[in-house]
Amino acid sequence: MSPDLPPVVPSVTAELVAALSPRLRKRLDAGVTKLLARPVTREGDTVRIAVDDGTDLVLRAPGGVVTGADAIHCGCLLAPACLHRAAAASAAPVADDAAAPEPAAVTGTQDGTEHTEEAAPAARPGPTSGETEAGTVTAGQRAAAREVFDAAAAVLEAGTDGAGAVLQAELLHAAHTARLAGLPRASAAAVSVVTAVRAARTADPGYRLTDLADALAGVLGVAHRLPHATGPDLTELRGTVRQPYRPDGSLRLYGLFSEPVLTATGHAGAVTWTADADGRLYTVSDVAPGGPARATGAADRAVRMGDTALTHRELSRAGLAVSGATVSPTGRLGAGAGVRAVRASGAAWRAEPLDRLWAVPAAGQVTRALSGGQDLLFLEVTLTGTVRETTGDCLLADCGGVPLRLAAAHDDPSLPYRDNLRLLAAAGGRLRIVARLAPGPIPRALLLAAEHPTDPDARVDLGLDRLQHADLPAGAVAPPAGAAPTGDEAPLHLLRRRVHQAVSGGRRVLAFNGSTSGDAARLRRLGLATAAGLLDDLHTAAADRSRDAFGRLLPADTGRFARSWLAAAVYTDVVERALCAHAWGAAASGTGLPAGA
- Kindly report the backbone phi and psi dihedral angles of residue 318, in degrees, each rounded to the nearest multiple of 5, phi listed first: -110, -160
DSSP letters spanning 333-352: BP--TT-EEEEE----TTST
In this structure, what is the dihedral angle of CA atoms 170, 172, 177, 181, given to the nearest 10 degrees? 140
151-174: pLDDT as tens digits: 999 999 999 989 999 999 999 999
pLDDT level of residue 1 (50, 70, 90 thresholds) = low
Report DSSP state, residue 555.
P
- What is the Cα–Cα distance from 545 to 554, expressed in whole angstroms? 7
In angstroms, the Cα distances linking 478 to 395, 451, 454 are 11, 18, 16
CA distance 378 to 366: 10
- Identify the weakest region by mean pLDDT among 100-114, 318-332, 445-459, 541-555: 100-114
Give 515's pLDDT tier (boundaries 50, 70, 90). low
Report whether pLDDT(222) > 60. yes
470-495 pLDDT, tens digit each: 888 876 666 666 555 544 456 888 89
Write out 449-513 in H/E/C secondary structure.
Answer: EEECCCCCCCEEECCCCCCCHHHCCCCCCCCCCEECCCCCCCCCHHHHHHHHHHHHHCHHHHCCC
Enter the CATH code of domain 355-483.
2.40.50
Span 20-61, pLDDT tens digits: 999 999 999 998 988 888 888 888 889 899 888 788 899 998
Q: Which residues are bridge partners to 286 per DSSP?
A: 270
The highest-confidence range among 46-50, 94-98, 223-227, by mean pLDDT, is 223-227
d(CA 111, CA 255): 24
Distances from the Cα of 564 to the Cα of 146, 157, 309, 463, angstroms: 17, 12, 54, 40
d(CA 47, CA 57): 8
The alpha carbon dihedral of 294, 296, 299, 301 has a sign of negative
Cis peptide before 353 (omega within 30 of 0): yes
What was the pLDDT predicted at 100?
Answer: 37
Number of alpha carbons in the 13 Å side-chain half-sphere of residue 119: 18
Q: How confident is the model at residue 98 (pLDDT cuts 50, 70, 90)?
A: low
Q: How confident is the model at residue 203 (pLDDT cuts 50, 70, 90)?
A: confident
The residue among 102 and 41 whose pLDDT is bigger is 41
Instruction: Say what the pTM is.
Output: 0.79
Tell me the percentage of the chain whose pLDDT exceeds 90.
40
Alpha helices in 292-361 (DSSP H): 292-297, 312-315, 355-359
Please check the confidence at residue 590 and state whether its pLDDT lies above 50. no
What is the topology classification, in CATH, of domain 246-344?
OB fold (Dihydrolipoamide Acetyltransferase, E2P) (2.40.50)
Mean pLDDT, the chain, integer: 83
Q: Domain residues of the chain, as ranges?
A: 10-88, 134-238, 246-344, 355-483, 493-591
